[in-house]
């Protein structure tokens, strides 16, 4: 057993981290918030870098890697708050033409009958594009970087499948990491009473709990990627949602009044985390699945 | 990243499992919690059984992964807990193995492995708990001996211990972290008095220890004189880092029992109860994965467990308390009956956010040593 990143996995993660730092740094994030719309150029670049085709075999034009590697990429995407229906497009690679290369933007009907980026998408998975588009109602999305539509109940009944939930959890993990980084950075530099606020225990302890949630969620998400087990995935999802949502809230608290402004990044973390927590389907269902397993595992 | 065990590790697991199935049924019944001599004999007897079967050295000599498998299998099979051997096996032993001289290792390690000697931990004092470095128990040098005077508190298993890992102040003029030394104190030395303290669970698992001009050979010092704080950090990293591994497995077992009890008594029909149990399942699964992650990390770094143990302990100590709170909810009014299973465990779970460094202290460690935030 070696439950640690391999050299190759580390290199892959660092590679995508570098690409995203170059192409989607803080300025690009804010340009996207102000400008709206999906950056098709970036989408194709991600395609060229293998982001969507990662798990297709080499014969199919892919990279031939697995869920653990995909999870590392989606964690990085979550860390920079990369917008767009990344998970749906990744999962469509190999079945929807153009998805693997990033030529096509693919979205899907997610938990609660919500569809992200419907107007920008070339293809909608689940429920048939026509039916979805016909009955879709635009919401005023809480997240400025995730336009949302709601579709009618009969189209939205399907439960999100496991890889969809797991990769969403990986994005949540990345956003939790970002929230922790932002909180720590602010706690080190913002001074009150003549010292950095991070020296005050109440603040320090919020930051410590942010990290604890990140590390627990990380272990759960990586393990679920290795086993692919539905119960592991349900657990990973619960912990990653918590790490991202609670993490962003605590990060906001650490930022004080600054945290309540539009200019701070914190609210973007929180809003995206909320959107993704819905995308993974009902939390109650995940909890019930985990509860049932306790009885099934009786022995 | 993988979670598969090597053929060699699986073979070890299989052999251990078979052996456990053979020996566990013939084990004598557990003595009552307050029968200390009985508990000592029972815990040492189990250690001796492990030793004779060739499993005792798994704590120090085998790879961290083998140790993980050992703890997983023994807990799953419901084998006796380390009990009175906790300090000797899980943190004094590893400290001596890492920091002791060849003579010290030869003197103290084999008797722990053979189940002949019990250790306790004399770190905390009445006025030095979280602020451990404020300890005042003094050791004055007199030839080849230290003369030790002071007192310790909350010393678990002191009543039945042969040895104590004792922190003393050997230089009163140095800054507080610099004047400390780590000694092995024989508990039968003249001048040592143990006074049991009753815990909130009604038992006497820890005690006060009074030291009045106790003579301890200088040769019993592990590490250099006044360098005891560094040695202490090694001890604490084992105590926080690896000592709880087996317990996570035990908690997962208890969680399954609580779920089955809930189904049997109808509490399962309450969706709130089911959801809490489901969440705890997620928590303990994740804590087990975190354990595997930490073990793999220590395997590749080949060293003492790092401050990551504090991350683990923070979450584990909280979730363990939640487990027994849910168990109480499932039991209903029976949760007020000390005769019911889990009720004593619920009481003892209250110590997890205090012992081995409180949660507040762990958060300071995570904040300062991992996240690099300034000291308060
Ligand atoms: C069951 C049990 C077994 C034990 N066994 C042993 C043993 O075998 N050997 C041994 O040496 N010790 C043992 N201990 C002692 C244990 O290590 C101490 O109780 C613990 O370190 C806390 O110290 P204290 O009790 O003096 O509490 P205090 O340090 O007085 O703390 C009281 C409260 O103040 C908080 N606090 C203190 N300082 C700070 C700070 N800087 N920042 C924020 N909050 C702070 C604490 O978190 C706590 O909430 C045991 C304790 C228990 C409960």
Per-residue pLDDT at B305 exceeds 90 = no
Per-residue pLDDT at A204 exceeds 80 = yes
Q: How confident is the model at residue B304 (pLDDT cuts 50, 70, 90)?
A: low
Residues of A (201-220) whose Cβ lies below 8 Å from B: 201, 204-205, 207-209, 211-212, 215-220
What would the pLDDT profile of A33-55 be if each residue is shown by its tens digit?
A: 998 789 999 999 999 999 999 99
What would the pLDDT profile of B53-85 be if each residue is shown by its tens digit?
A: 999 888 777 788 998 999 999 999 999 988 899
Query: B373 and A204 in contact by Cβ < 8 A?
Result: yes
Which protein residue has the closest C-alpha to ligand 1 atom 37?
B130
The alpha carbon of B374 and the centre of ligand 1 are apart by a number of angstroms equal to 23
Q: Does A3 touch chain B (CB under 8 A)?
A: yes
Per-residue pLDDT at A128 exceeds 60 = no
Q: How confident is the model at residue B33 (pLDDT cuts 50, 70, 90)?
A: confident
- CA A145, A151, A155, A158 dihedral sign is positive
- The phi-psi region of residue B192 (left if phi > 0; otherwise alpha if psi is between -120 and 50; otherwise beta) is beta
Closest CB from B277, B290, B295 relative to A216: B290
Mean pLDDT of B137-144: 97
What percent of chain B is modeled with pLDDT above 90?
84
What percent of chain A is modeled with pLDDT above 90?
86
Which protein residue has the closest C-alpha to ligand 1 atom 44?
B360
- Best mutation target among A3, A182, A228 (most B Cβ atoms within 10 Å) is A3
Mean pLDDT of B108-130: 97
Nearest to B317 by CA among B271, B363, B273: B363
Q: What residue has token string 């590697």?
A: A69
Quick check: B344 and A186 in contact, CB under 8 A? no
CA A290 to CA A134: how far, in whole Å? 37
Q: Tokens standing for A169?
A: 């959890």
Q: What is the ipTM of this complex?
A: 0.94
Per-residue pLDDT at B110 exceeds 90 = yes
Q: Three-class SS of residue A219? A: helix
Other Cβ atoms less than 10 A from the Cβ of B93: the count is 23
Helical segments of chain B, H only:
7-23, 36-52, 64-76, 86-87, 93-99, 102-113, 228-241, 245-265, 271-301, 308-331, 343-349, 359-365
Q: How confident is the model at residue B303 (pLDDT cuts 50, 70, 90)?
A: low
Q: How confident is the model at residue B299 (pLDDT cuts 50, 70, 90)?
A: confident
Mean pLDDT is lowest, of A168-177, A194-203, A273-282, B259-268, for A273-282
Q: What is the mean pLDDT of chain B?
A: 94
Contacts of A11 (CB under 8 A, 6+ apart): none
Q: What φ, ψ does residue B50 adopt, rounded to 5°? A: -65, -40
Q: What is the mean pLDDT of chain A?
A: 94
The alpha carbon of A124 and the centre of ligand 1 are apart by a number of angstroms equal to 57
Residues of A (155-194) whose Cβ lies below 8 Å from B: 184, 187-188
In this prediction, residue A158 carries a pLDDT of: 64
Mean pLDDT of B223-231: 97
The alpha carbon of A14 and the centre of ligand 1 are apart by a number of angstroms equal to 41
Closest CB from A1, A6, A294 relative to B65: A1
Nearest CA in chain A to B279: A287
Q: How confident is the model at residue A195 (pLDDT cuts 50, 70, 90)?
A: very high
Alpha carbon of B353: minimum distance to chain A alpha carbons (Å) = 14
Using a CB-CB cut-off of 8 Å, the residues of chain B touching A236 are: 286
In this prediction, residue A155 carries a pLDDT of: 61
Residues of B taking part in catalysis = 239
Residues of B (312-371) whose Cβ lies below 8 Å from A: 314-315, 360, 362-364, 366-368, 370-371
Q: How confident is the model at residue A129 (pLDDT cuts 50, 70, 90)?
A: low
In this prediction, residue B204 carries a pLDDT of: 86
Residues with CB under 6 A from ligand 1: A 201; B 120-124, 129-130, 154-156, 206, 351, 354-355, 357-358, 360-361
Q: How open is the CA angle A105-A106-A110, to the nearest 5 degrees?
A: 140
Quick check: B322 and B175 in contact, CB under 8 A? no
Other Cβ atoms less than 10 A from the Cβ of A108: the count is 25
Mean pLDDT of B143-169: 97
Closest CB from B274, B290, B308 relative to A291: B274
Looking at beta carbons, which pairs linking B130-138 to residues 24 or more positions away fall under 8 Å?
B130/B357, B130/B358, B130/B360, B130/B361, B132/B167, B132/B232, B133/B176, B133/B177, B133/B180, B133/B229, B134/B176, B135/B167, B135/B168, B135/B169, B135/B180, B136/B169, B137/B166, B137/B167, B137/B168, B137/B169, B137/B211, B138/B168, B138/B169, B138/B172
Per-residue pLDDT at A299 exceeds 50 = no
């Amino acid at each position: 057993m070696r439950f640690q990143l391999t050299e190759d996995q580390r290199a892959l993660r660092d590679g995508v981290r570098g690409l995203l730092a170059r192409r989607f740094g803080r300025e690009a994030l804010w340009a996207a918030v102000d400008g709206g719309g999906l950056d098709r150029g970036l989408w194709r670049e991600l395609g060229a870098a293998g982001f969507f085709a990662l798990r297709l075999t080499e014969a199919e034009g892919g990279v031939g890697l697995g869920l653990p590697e995909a999870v590392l990429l989606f964690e990085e995407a979550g860390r920079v708050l990369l917008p767009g229906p990344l998970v749906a497009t990744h999962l469509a690679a190999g079945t929807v033409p153009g998805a693997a290369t990033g030529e096509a933007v693919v979205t899907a009907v997610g938990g609660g009958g919500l569809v992200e980026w419907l107007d920008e998408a070339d293809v909608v998975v689940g429920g048939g594009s026509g039916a979805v588009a016909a009955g879709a109602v635009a919401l005023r999305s809480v997240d400025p970087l995730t336009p949302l539509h709601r579709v009618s109940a009969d189209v939205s009944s399907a439960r999100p499948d496991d890889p969809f939930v797991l990769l969403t959890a990986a994005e949540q993990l990345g956003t939790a990491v970002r929230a922790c980084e932002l909180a720590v950075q602010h706690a080190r530099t913002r001074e009150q009473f003549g010292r950095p606020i991070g020296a005050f225990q109440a603040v320090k302890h919020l930051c410590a709990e942010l990290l604890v949630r990140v590390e627990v969620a990380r272990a759960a998400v990586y393990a679920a990627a290795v086993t692919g087990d539905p119960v592991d995935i349900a657990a990973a999802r619960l912990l990653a949602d918590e790490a991202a949502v609670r993490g962003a809230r605590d990060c906001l608290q650490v930022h004080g009044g600054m945290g309540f402004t539009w200019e701070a990044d914190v609210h973007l973390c929180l809003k995206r985390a909320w959107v993704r927590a819905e995308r993974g389907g009902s939390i109650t269902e995940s909890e019930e699945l985990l509860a049932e397993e306790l009885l099934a595992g009786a022995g | 990243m993988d979670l598969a065990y090597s053929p060699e590790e699986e073979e070890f697991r299989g052999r251990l499992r078979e052996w456990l199935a053979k020996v566990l049924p013939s084990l004598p019944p557990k003595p009552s919690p307050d029968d200390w001599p009985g508990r000592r004999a029972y815990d040492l007897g189990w250690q001796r059984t492990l030793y004779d079967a060739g499993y005792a050295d798994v704590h120090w000599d085998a790879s961290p992964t083998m140790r993980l498998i050992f703890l997983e299998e023994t807990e799953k099979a419901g084998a006796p807990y380390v009990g009175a051997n906790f300090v000797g096996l899980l943190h004094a032993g590893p400290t001596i193995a890492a920091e002791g001289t060849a003579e010290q290792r030869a003197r103290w390690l084999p008797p722990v492995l053979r189940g002949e000697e019990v250790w306790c931990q004399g770190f905390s004092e009445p006025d030095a708990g979280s602020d451990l470095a404020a300890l005042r128990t003094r050791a004055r040098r007199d030839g080849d001996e230290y003369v030790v005077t002071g007192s310790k508190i909350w010393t678990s298993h002191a009543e039945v211990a042969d040895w104590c890992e004792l922190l003393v102040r050997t230089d009163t003029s140095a800054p507080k972290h610099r004047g400390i030394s780590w000694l092995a104190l024989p508990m039968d030395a003249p001048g040592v008095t143990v006074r049991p303290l009753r815990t909130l669970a009604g038992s006497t698992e820890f005690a006060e220890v009074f030291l009045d001009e106790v003579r301890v050979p200088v040769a019993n010092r592990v590490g250099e004189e006044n360098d005891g704080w560094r040695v202490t950090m090694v001890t604490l990293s084992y105590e926080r880092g690896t000592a709880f591994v087996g317990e996570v497995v035990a908690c997962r077992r208890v969680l399954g029992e609580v779920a089955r009890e809930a189904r049997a008594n109808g509490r399962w029909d309450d969706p709130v109860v089911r959801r809490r149990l489901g969440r705890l399942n997620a928590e303990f699964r994740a804590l087990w994965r975190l354990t595997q992650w930490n073990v793999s990390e220590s395997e590749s770094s080949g060293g003492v467990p790092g401050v990551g143990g504090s991350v683990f302990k923070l979450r584990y100590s909280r979730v363990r308390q939640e487990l027994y709170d849910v168990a109480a909810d499932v039991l209903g009014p029976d949760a007020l009956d000390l005769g019911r299973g889990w009720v004593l465990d619920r009481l003892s779970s209250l110590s997890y956010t205090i012992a081995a460094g409180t949660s507040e202290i762990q958060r300071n460690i995570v904040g300062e040593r991992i996240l690099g935030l300034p000291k308060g």
